C-alpha cells in the first residue's frame, strides 16, 4: 500500500508534546513481532471467489519475502499482501518511525474515533487515537489517497493491540471521489513468542462485481 516514499517536512507550527505522547503511547501498545525475530515459513492456500491455489511462503522481513504459487498474477498479489503484513508487524521503535516527524493536534478532539494528530510528512499523514490505540490512518499520494478505519482488535499475551478488522477507503486526492473500498479481516496464531498470520480475508468491489479473496497460512515454522 505504501509504495510512495514518505519524507519529512517542516511545518510552521511547533511540535506538540501532548500529541507526541499520545501517539507514542498508542504506538507502543501496538502488537509487533519481537526484536530479533528471524521470520517464518508457512504453507499457503489462496481462494479467489471459490478458485483455490496452494503454495508456500518464506518471510524474513518486509523486503525479503519468497512466495511460491502457480500463477504469476496471484503470486504478486500474495507477495504484496504478505509484505504489507510484515511491514506493519515488523519490529521497530517509535523514534525511528512515526516519531521522527513533526506531530501536532489537528482539531476534532471530540470526534467519535478520537482526536486527529497530523504528521509533518510529504504524504499529509494524520492519525486518530482513542483508548490508547490508533483508530484511523490517513495518507495522500500523487495518484491516490486512502483512509484506514481500524474497527476491531484483540489483546495479545503481552497486552498489546493486534488488529483483526479494518476497512480501507481509496479516493482521488484531487476531487475526493471514492475509487474503491476494501474490507480486511485477519486472524492470528501464536507460535513461540510471536503472533503470526493465520488467515486474511479481503472483500472489495472491482469492475462492477464483488471479489472475495482469502489467504490461509498453515504449518508455520520459525526461522
Sheet strands (E) in the chain = 40-48, 51-61, 64-68, 103-105, 116-119, 126-130, 133-140, 145-155, 161-171, 178-191, 194-206, 209-222
Q: Is the dihedral of CA 5, 162, 57, 191 positive or negative?
A: positive
- Show the cell assigned to 63: 523486503
3-state DSSP: the chain helix, strand, coil percent, rounded to 5? Answer: 15, 50, 35
d(CA 162, CA 33): 11
Pick from 10-19, 93-102, 127-136: least confident: 10-19
**In this predicted structure, what is the pLDDT of residue 1?**
46
d(CA 13, CA 99): 16
Number of other CB atoms surrounding residue 155 within 10 Å: 11
Residue with cell 511547533: 14
φ, ψ of residue 29 to 5 degrees: the values are -95, 10
pTM of this structure? 0.90
**In this predicted structure, what is the pLDDT of residue 11?**
64
Collapsed DSSP state (helix, strand, coil) of residue 30: strand
The per-residue pLDDT of the chain, averaged, comes to 92
Band (pLDDT 50/70/90 cuts) for residue 6 is low
Amino acid at each position: 500500500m505504501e509504495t510512495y516514499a514518505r519524507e519529512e517536512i517542516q511545518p510552521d507550527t511547533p511540535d506538540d508534546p501532548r500529541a507526541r505522547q499520545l501517539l507514542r503511547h498508542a504506538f507502543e501498545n501496538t502488537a509487533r513481532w519481537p526484536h530479533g525475530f528471524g521470520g517464518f515459513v508457512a504453507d499457503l492456500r489462496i481462494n479467489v471467489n471459490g478458485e483455490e491455489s496452494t503454495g508456500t511462503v518464506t518471510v524474513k522481513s518486509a523486503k525479503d519475502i519468497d512466495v511460491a504459487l502457480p500463477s504469476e498474477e496471484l503470486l504478486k498479489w500474495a507477495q504484496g499482501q504478505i509484505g504489507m503484513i510484515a511491514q506493519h508487524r515488523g519490529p521497530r521503535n517509535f523514534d525511528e518511525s512515526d516519531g521522527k516527524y513533526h506531530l501536532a493536534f489537528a482539531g476534532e478532539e471530540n470526534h467519535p474515533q478520537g482526536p486527529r494528530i497530523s504528521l509533518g510528512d510529504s504524504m499529509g499523514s494524520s492519525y486518530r487515537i482513542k483508548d490508547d490505540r490508533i483508530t484511523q490512518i490517513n495518507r495522500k499520494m500523487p495518484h491516490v489517497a486512502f483512509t484506514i478505519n481500524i474497527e476491531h482488535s484483540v489483546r495479545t499475551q503481552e497486552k498489546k493491540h493486534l488488529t483483526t478488522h479494518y476497512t480501507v477507503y481509496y479516493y482521488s486526492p484531487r476531487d475526493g471521489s471514492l475509487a474503491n473500498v476494501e474490507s480486511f479481516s485477519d486472524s492470528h496464531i501464536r507460535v513461540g513468542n510471536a503472533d503470526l498470520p493465520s488467515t486474511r480475508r479481503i472483500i472489495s468491489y472491482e469492475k462492477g462485481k464483488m471479489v472475495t479473496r482469502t489467504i490461509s497460512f498453515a504449518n508455520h515454522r520459525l526461522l
